[in-house]
Amino acid sequence: MCSYPCPPACPGFAGRAGVKSVSHSNPGSGPGHVIQLSPSQLGELRPWFLPDRPGPLVGLHVLRTGNGACFADRWPEPGALLAACAGNYSLLGDPEALTPPDLLERISGFVDAPEEFLPLLQRSFPDLRIWDRVILELQAEPRFRLPEGVTLQRLQSEDESHLKRLSRDSTWISKTWGGSASLAASGVAWGAFVGNRLASVAVPFFVGERYEDIGVATEPECQGRGLSTACAGELVKDILARGRRASWSTSPDNTASLRVAEKLAFQFVRRDRLVVIGVRVPAATDLEQM
C-alpha cells in the first residue's frame, strides 16, 4: 500500500533529489531564463509558502529539509517560483512572470498549482492530465492494533540497508528525503518489521511549517495485514508529540488508502487536484492494494 504515487524519473534533472543544477546568477534574455535559488535566497521567501495547509507542501519541504530546489524568474524580487522535489512540483506567484520555455525541461511529474497557472501549463504541456485528489487532516488521537508478529520501530542510520532492500514497488518512499541513506539518518521514518524484514515504511513525505503530509509504502506480499495502518499510526503519534499536525493525501477512488486514513481518525478537509505532466495518471489499483 502507498499513499503517494511513485515519483517519476525527471529528464534533464541531475542534481540532488532529481533536480537539475543551474547557476545562481541573474536571468539572461533568452528563453528558459529561470534561476535556481540558493538556500539563503530561498529562506528569504519563506512567507511565500505561509500559512501552510494540509496537503502537498513541496516548497516548504525543500526549504526545511534541503531536498530538492526552488527556481525563480528573477532575483531579487521574484515574480514566480517553481519548487521541485523528486518529481513533485509547486508553482506560486504570478504566472505572467513565466513562459513555456521556463518550464519545458524542468517539469515531469505531479504539479500543485493554483488555477491561474493552468493556462500557462496547458500552453507548455498540451498533453497534461488532471488527477483528482482528496485531502484529509487528523482530528483525534489515532488508535490502531499492532498485528501479531510485527515490530514497529523508528528507523535510524543503521537501518539504511533495510530501506535499500525494499522492492521497486516501495523504494519511492525515500525519494523526497534524497534517498535511503538520508531518510534513515533523518530519524523521521517508522518501519514495520516482520521478523528481520522491513515490510512497511511511513514517512512525512512533505514537511511544512505546521503540517506533515504522510506517505506510506507496504511491500506487495505483506499487504492486507494492517501494516500500513500500524506503521502510519506510529508516525502520526510521533508527529503529534512534536506539536505538529498530520495530513493525508490520496485520490477519491483509492478506497484502500481512505480506509486506512479513516481508521486513524483522519477526516475530509477538501477536494484538490494535481496536474500530471509527462507521466501517466496512476490508477488506484497501482497505488494501494492492501
On the question of a cis peptide bond just before residue 101, with omega within 30 degrees of 0, the verdict is: no
pLDDT at residue 6, as a whole number: 55
Q: What percent of the chain has pLDDT over 90?
A: 84
106: amino acid identity, one letter = R
Contact by Cβ (8 Å): 261, 154: no
Average pLDDT over residues 4-14: 43
pLDDT at residue 3, as a whole number: 62
Which of these ranges, 25-29, 96-100, 166-170, 223-227, has the smallest mean pLDDT? 25-29
Nearest 10 degrees: Cα torsion 275, 276, 277, 281: -160
Residue 233 reports pLDDT greater than 60:
yes
Confidence of residue 22 (pLDDT cuts 50, 70, 90): very low
Q: Residue 39 has which C-alpha cell?
A: 538556500
Average pLDDT over residues 234-240: 97
Residue 25 reports pLDDT greater than 50:
no
pLDDT at residue 180, as a whole number: 98
* 97 alpha carbon, distance to own chain's centre: 25
pLDDT in tens, 43-88: 999 999 999 999 999 999 999 999 999 999 999 999 999 999 999 9
Contact by Cβ (8 Å): 211, 245: yes
Rounded to two decimals, the pTM is 0.88
Q: Residue 280 has which C-alpha cell?
A: 501517466
Average pLDDT over residues 267-282: 96
DSSP letters, 32-67, are: S--EEPPHHHHHHTGGGG-S--SS--HHHHHHHH--
Residue 89 reports pLDDT greater than 60:
yes
- The DSSP call for residue 17 is G
Average pLDDT over residues 13-28: 36
Residue 153 reports pLDDT greater than 80:
yes
- The DSSP call for residue 242 is T
Average pLDDT over residues 197-221: 97
Task: Write the CB contacts of 242 (distance below 8 Å, at least 6 apart in sequence).
Answer: none
On the question of a cis peptide bond just before residue 119, with omega within 30 degrees of 0, the verdict is: no
- The DSSP call for residue 118 is H
Rounded Cα gap, residues 164 and 84, in angstroms: 24
Q: Residue 22 has which C-alpha cell?
A: 543551474
Average pLDDT over residues 246-251: 97
Confidence of residue 283 (pLDDT cuts 50, 70, 90): confident
pLDDT at residue 58, as a whole number: 98
Rounded Cα gap, residues 289 and 142, in angstroms: 22
Residue 242 reports pLDDT greater than 60:
yes
Q: Residue 58 has which C-alpha cell?
A: 513541496
Residue 21 reports pLDDT greater than 50:
no
Could you tell me what percentage of the chain is helix, strand and coil, using 3-state DSSP and rounding each to the nearest 5? 30, 30, 40
Q: What percent of the chain has pLDDT over 70?
A: 87
Find cell 501552510 and name the residue.
Answer: 52
Average pLDDT over residues 88-113: 97
DSSP β-bridge partners for residue 118: none
163 closest CA partner among 140, 146, 149, 183: 183
Residue 187 reports pLDDT greater than 50:
yes
Average pLDDT over residues 102-125: 97
Task: Write the CB contacts of 207 (distance below 8 Å, at least 6 apart in sequence).
Answer: 57, 60, 61, 64, 65, 188
275 closest CA partner among 133, 134, 135, 131: 131
pLDDT at residue 108, as a whole number: 98
User: Does residue 288 or residue 10 have the better pLDDT?
Assistant: 288
Rounded Cα gap, residues 47 and 116, in angstroms: 20
For β-strands 211-218 and 245-250, DSSP reports them as parallel
